[in-house]
Structure 1
Amino acid sequence: MYFLLSPAKSLNESDGVPINVGNYYSQPELIEHAQQLMKILKDKEPIDLQELMGISDDLAQLNAQRNQQWAWSEDAPFTDANAKAAGYLFDGDVYTGLDMYNLDKDTVIYLNEHLGILSGLYGVLKPLDLIQPYRLEMGTKLKNERGDNLYQFWGDAITEVINQRMADSEAQGEDNVLINLASNEYFKSVKKKNLEADIITPRFEDEKNGKYKVIAFYAKKARGLMVNFAAVNKITKAEQLKDFNLAGYYYVDELSDEKTWTFRRDESSQ
């Protein structure tokens, strides 16, 4: 079983990693592809980044600086001195729910084996992959040698990595199921027709004025909460996710089918 999340725009560069997981740090599997993209980004001035990504001048200046400082080579790979593990670096609603800073070592190791974080720059990351700060959303129309956008750039590469990781977990007796908790923008980078696994997409609805609907802020946090629940309970079977009950959510069988599982939360639990 394998989970997918989107990355976050906001980054936590200040807080240190609270547990000793140094032996599990790794380099991003698709780092050589990231090098190709960064070569393009390094040539862009702040005004170019501002227009490309629709960001403020301050953010454009910050990310132009990040791009110039970004450096990786086989002789000088990322280290915990110049980079940070992805699961601890990404911030925002999803990662507030994931709450990786408060997970023990065994739980973090489970996450590292069962969670992929999709990324415009790095393709797909393990939580303990070391990365340097960046800003490049998957939907960015960045022209490159493979096409006009990042979906064309990544092609089948992301899907091939996921298939391999799914095969590894299936070999250990786990369900061959991908739990898609990523946004549509990011999940489009996965070639579903080539994916060698069943896909389940959880849907999180919150009650508002007596009606249930997806509220983006709550849904994002719930995605992280579900991965947290799976990690803490060391889940290996998809069916076990129906017991997800953090923050007041509960599974609704009559609103679910084989591909989409619906979870709701009443207004009194918000």
Structure 2
Amino acid sequence: MLVLLSCAKMMTRASTVTPPFTSMPLFKEEASAVAVQMAQYSVADLELLLHVNAKIAVENYKRYQSFHADEKEGLAALLAYTGIVFKHLDPTDFTDEDFLYAQEHLRITSFCYGLLRPLDAIHSYRLEGHAKLAGFGGQTVFSFWQFRLTDVFIDIIKANGGVLVYLASDEMRGLFNWSKILKEVKVIVPEFHLWKNGKLSTIVVYTKMARGEMARFILKNRIEDLNELKSFSWEGFVYSDINSDGSKLVYVMGVK
């Protein structure tokens, strides 16, 4: 079983956690080329391209300008991303064995690095899938990565039993030829809903929290059987058989 998470916009360059080792990203050269392209943009360009305010644009201008000059090798991806999902995955108490298991069974999408293992050393960046890379014919980041990632990702999933637990955001499908992936492997999509006023509703922040908690549950407990995945519960979210189907596992909060 392989778990997929989305990268986070929030990143840090330092952590108090020491992983057993760091590894080199599979697409390090491609990431370098993407960073070179992004370094060509001015602060004003980045503000428009990334849909951010001036402060964030300045921060990321500096990041791209120093991307190749930084003497540090970077921080393990699992520690570098600090968004809600990663806060709830919470690797601060991971043992070396937990990190090693995660290295084999978890992948993280990245608009800059393509596809990452948890211990791949990376530099901080900010990027969006719809941003255009002028040096690559103006293609978007999504189209840049699709043909590079799809077959590699399929091979990784097959090496992990042919089952993908998709805990990433919907937009991350754009990094792959998703129809090909669906033909080649089994994709399970957990969903997290609240039962309110007689119907299921979704609150994004709860979904992000639950995705992180489920990833933690899988990694910490070495879950490799889908039936075991149904036993996951958190803060009132429990598996709902009546709302689930073959590829969708639904967890609901608020059903008595």
User: Which residue does 1:35 correspond to in 2?
Assistant: 32
SS in structure 2 of the partner of residue 247 of structure 1: coil
- More displaced stretch, 237-246 vs 126-135: 237-246
Alignment RMSD (CA, Å): 2.0
Specify the SS of the correspondent of 2:252. Answer: strand
| Alpha-carbon separation, structure 1, partners of 2:137 and 2:155 | 23
**How far did residue 168 of structure 1 move?**
2.3
Q: Structure 2 vs 1, CA of residues 267 and 68 (structure 1 numbering), >3 Å: closer, same or farther? A: farther
The equivalent residue for 1:75 is: none
1:19-47 deviation line (CA, Å, top 9, x unaligned): 4412xx11110111112211111111111
Q: Unaligned stretches of 5+ in structure 1? A: 73-77, 171-175
Q: Percent identity?
A: 31
In the TM superposition, 1:176-187 aligns within 5 A as: 176-187=162-173
Question: Residues 102 and 267 of structure 1: is their aligned pair in 2 closer, same or farther, counting only changes over 3 Å?
Answer: farther
What is the letter of the counterpart of residue 134 of structure 1?
Y
- Are 2:95 and 1:98 equivalent residues in the alignment? no
Contact 1:206/1:212, CA 8 A, preserved across alignment:
yes
Task: Look up the match of 2:175.
Answer: 189
Taking the TM superposition and a 5 Å limit, the aligned residue runs for 1:1-270 are 1-17=1-17, 19-22=18-21, 25-71=22-68, 81-145=72-136, 147-170=138-161, 176-195=162-181, 196-208=184-196, 211-266=199-254
Listed one character per residue, the Cα deviations across residues 109-144 of structure 1 (whole Å, up to 9, x for unaligned) are 111111111010000100100000000122334444
Instruction: Give the secondary-structure state (helix, strand or coil) at the position aligned to 2:192.
Output: strand
- What SS does the corresponding residue of 2:168 show, helix, strand or coil? coil
Q: Over residues 211-240 of structure 1, what are the superposed CA-to-partner deviations in whole Å (9 max), with x where a residue is unaligned?
A: 531100000111111110001110112222
Q: Which moved more, 1:153-162 or 1:253-262?
A: 153-162
Q: 1:166 to 1:214 in 2, by over 3 A?
A: same
User: What stretches of structure 2 of length at least 5 have no aligned partner?
Assistant: none
| Aligned residue identity for 2:163 | V
Do the aligned partners of residues 46 and 86 (structure 1) sit closer, same or farther apart at CA in structure 2, a change above 3 Å counting?
same
Runs of 4+ in 1 over 6 A off after TM superposition: none
Length, aligned pairs only: 254
